[in-house]
Amino acid sequence: MVPSIRQLCGATDAARSNHLPTGTHTRIARRRGTEPIPVPALPTKPCTLCGRIITWRKKWERDWDQVKFCSDACRRASKSNDHQAFARALEQSILALLAERPKSATICPSEAARRVRPDDWRDWMEPARQAARRLVEQGRVEITQSGRVVDPSTAKGPIRLRLSR
């Protein structure tokens, strides 16, 4: 179970680091008329459907272990069998395209969308990016921009996919 924010703020640095996963966000709190006080990093986890990062909130204190989706849209889409089958097809398409090319080659998510839905592939670009984020979470691919690996949940603009190194 994740400790409350009050417990985290009162804990020592060593105790805090035992409760928090690596790669979390940090914030600074200020008291009136004093120096900034570091606030402990909040726990995060990926959305089960789209792979975006979900950051811990006070209202989820009791339910943090049950939080799986970043939004109501992801929760609704997860219940659709068509969506799940299409998501698996996109993931398999991404992996197949990467397997057909040299190990250092990259692909655009649109190539996977075109392979699965040739007629209306533009409508399926966001699900293709979601499939890529899930594959990143599994450690199978990396998302790059300008040849550099980027955080999949915050990447904006054109992205490329390559096999993990």
Per-range mean pLDDT, top range of 23-27, 48-52, 140-144 = 140-144
CATH 1.10.10.10 for the 80-163 domain, yes or no: yes
CB 106 within 8 A of CB 160: yes
Min mean pLDDT across 55-59, 102-106, 133-137 is at 55-59
Q: What is the pLDDT of residue 30?
A: 55
Q: What is the pLDDT of residue 33?
A: 64
- Span 70-99, average pLDDT: 86
Q: What is the pLDDT of residue 95?
A: 95
Q: What is the pLDDT of residue 90?
A: 93
**CA 96 to CA 16: how far, in whole Å?**
43
| Strand arrangement of the beta sheet that strand 148-149 belongs to | 148-149, 141-145, 160-163
Q: Where are the domains of the chain?
A: 5-70, 80-163
Residue 2 has pLDDT above 80, yes or no: no
Distance of CA 62 to the CA centre of its chain: 22
Q: What is the pLDDT of residue 14?
A: 42
Per-residue b or e along 9-35, where b marks 16 or more CB atoms closer than 10 Å to that residue's CB: eebeeeebeeebeeeeeeeeeeeeeee
- Span 113-136, average pLDDT: 90
Q: What is the pLDDT of residue 38?
A: 63
